[in-house]
Amino acid sequence: MRFLRVLPALVVMAVILFAGLKPEPVPQVFEQQDKLHHLLGFAALAFTLRLAFPRTHAIWVLAFSLTAALLIELGQAYWPHRTPSAADMVANALGVTLGWLCSLALTWLRAEPRCS
Protein backbone atom coordinates (compact mmCIF):
# COMPACT_ATOMS: atom_id res chain seq x y z
CA MET A 1 0.00 0.00 0.00
CA ARG A 2 2.92 2.37 0.57
CA PHE A 3 3.61 2.31 -3.17
CA LEU A 4 0.21 3.91 -3.78
CA ARG A 5 1.24 6.85 -1.59
CA VAL A 6 4.55 7.25 -3.45
CA LEU A 7 3.15 6.81 -6.97
CA PRO A 8 1.74 10.38 -7.33
CA ALA A 9 5.09 11.88 -6.29
CA LEU A 10 6.90 9.70 -8.84
CA VAL A 11 4.48 10.72 -11.59
CA VAL A 12 4.85 14.42 -10.74
CA MET A 13 8.64 14.10 -10.68
CA ALA A 14 8.62 12.33 -14.06
CA VAL A 15 6.47 15.08 -15.61
CA ILE A 16 8.69 17.81 -14.16
CA LEU A 17 11.84 16.08 -15.42
CA PHE A 18 10.37 15.55 -18.87
CA ALA A 19 9.07 19.12 -19.22
CA GLY A 20 12.13 20.69 -17.64
CA LEU A 21 14.79 18.79 -19.53
CA LYS A 22 13.32 18.28 -22.99
CA PRO A 23 15.23 20.10 -25.74
CA GLU A 24 12.40 22.45 -26.73
CA PRO A 25 10.47 24.52 -24.18
CA VAL A 26 6.70 24.21 -23.85
CA PRO A 27 4.97 26.64 -26.28
CA GLN A 28 3.74 29.82 -24.57
CA VAL A 29 0.10 30.88 -24.91
CA PHE A 30 0.61 33.99 -22.77
CA GLU A 31 3.65 35.87 -21.51
CA GLN A 32 5.41 34.35 -18.49
CA GLN A 33 3.32 31.16 -18.74
CA ASP A 34 6.42 29.15 -17.92
CA LYS A 35 6.56 30.77 -14.46
CA LEU A 36 3.06 29.42 -13.77
CA HIS A 37 4.22 25.96 -14.89
CA HIS A 38 7.22 26.19 -12.54
CA LEU A 39 5.07 27.32 -9.62
CA LEU A 40 2.38 24.67 -10.05
CA GLY A 41 4.77 21.87 -10.92
CA PHE A 42 6.94 22.30 -7.86
CA ALA A 43 3.92 22.92 -5.64
CA ALA A 44 2.59 19.55 -6.80
CA LEU A 45 5.97 17.93 -6.17
CA ALA A 46 6.35 19.24 -2.61
CA PHE A 47 2.71 18.43 -1.81
CA THR A 48 2.84 14.86 -3.12
CA LEU A 49 6.20 14.22 -1.45
CA ARG A 50 4.80 15.34 1.92
CA LEU A 51 1.84 12.99 1.45
CA ALA A 52 4.07 10.14 0.30
CA PHE A 53 6.48 10.48 3.22
CA PRO A 54 4.48 11.86 6.14
CA ARG A 55 7.00 10.73 8.78
CA THR A 56 9.95 12.36 7.03
CA HIS A 57 10.92 15.71 8.47
CA ALA A 58 9.63 18.55 6.28
CA ILE A 59 13.12 19.99 5.88
CA TRP A 60 14.19 16.92 3.88
CA VAL A 61 11.21 17.20 1.55
CA LEU A 62 11.89 20.91 1.06
CA ALA A 63 15.60 20.28 0.51
CA PHE A 64 14.92 17.52 -2.03
CA SER A 65 12.37 19.64 -3.91
CA LEU A 66 14.63 22.69 -4.04
CA THR A 67 17.65 20.60 -5.05
CA ALA A 68 15.63 19.01 -7.87
CA ALA A 69 14.51 22.47 -8.98
CA LEU A 70 18.08 23.78 -9.02
CA LEU A 71 19.47 20.75 -10.87
CA ILE A 72 16.76 20.92 -13.52
CA GLU A 73 17.41 24.63 -14.04
CA LEU A 74 21.15 23.98 -14.35
CA GLY A 75 20.49 21.04 -16.69
CA GLN A 76 18.70 23.35 -19.10
CA ALA A 77 22.03 25.03 -19.86
CA TYR A 78 23.06 21.95 -21.85
CA TRP A 79 20.27 22.35 -24.43
CA PRO A 80 20.66 24.94 -27.22
CA HIS A 81 17.05 26.22 -27.01
CA ARG A 82 16.84 26.26 -23.21
CA THR A 83 18.32 28.62 -20.66
CA PRO A 84 18.36 28.46 -16.88
CA SER A 85 16.99 31.57 -15.22
CA ALA A 86 16.88 33.02 -11.73
CA ALA A 87 13.22 33.98 -12.26
CA ASP A 88 12.36 30.33 -12.97
CA MET A 89 14.21 29.29 -9.81
CA VAL A 90 12.23 31.84 -7.78
CA ALA A 91 9.01 30.42 -9.24
CA ASN A 92 10.23 26.92 -8.35
CA ALA A 93 10.98 27.97 -4.75
CA LEU A 94 7.61 29.68 -4.41
CA GLY A 95 5.97 26.52 -5.75
CA VAL A 96 7.79 24.36 -3.21
CA THR A 97 6.66 26.72 -0.45
CA LEU A 98 3.07 26.67 -1.72
CA GLY A 99 3.02 22.87 -1.87
CA TRP A 100 4.43 22.60 1.63
CA LEU A 101 1.86 25.08 3.00
CA CYS A 102 -0.96 23.15 1.30
CA SER A 103 0.30 19.92 2.88
CA LEU A 104 0.33 21.67 6.28
CA ALA A 105 -3.24 22.85 5.72
CA LEU A 106 -4.32 19.32 4.81
CA THR A 107 -2.62 17.92 7.91
CA TRP A 108 -4.30 20.57 10.03
CA LEU A 109 -7.72 19.80 8.51
CA ARG A 110 -7.26 16.08 9.16
CA ALA A 111 -6.36 16.74 12.80
CA GLU A 112 -9.37 18.99 13.45
CA PRO A 113 -11.84 17.34 15.81
CA ARG A 114 -15.17 16.69 14.13
CA CYS A 115 -18.36 17.94 15.72
CA SER A 116 -21.32 15.62 15.55
pLDDT tens-digit series, residues 60-86: 999 999 999 999 999 999 988 888 999
pTM of the model: 0.87
pLDDT tens-digit series, residues 19-45: 998 888 888 899 889 999 999 999 999
- Output DSSP code: residue 41: H
Residue 116's pLDDT band (boundaries 50, 70, 90)?
low
Q: Is 34 left (phi over 0), alpha (psi -120 to 50) or beta?
A: alpha
Q: Is the dihedral of CA 28, 30, 31, 35 positive or negative?
A: negative
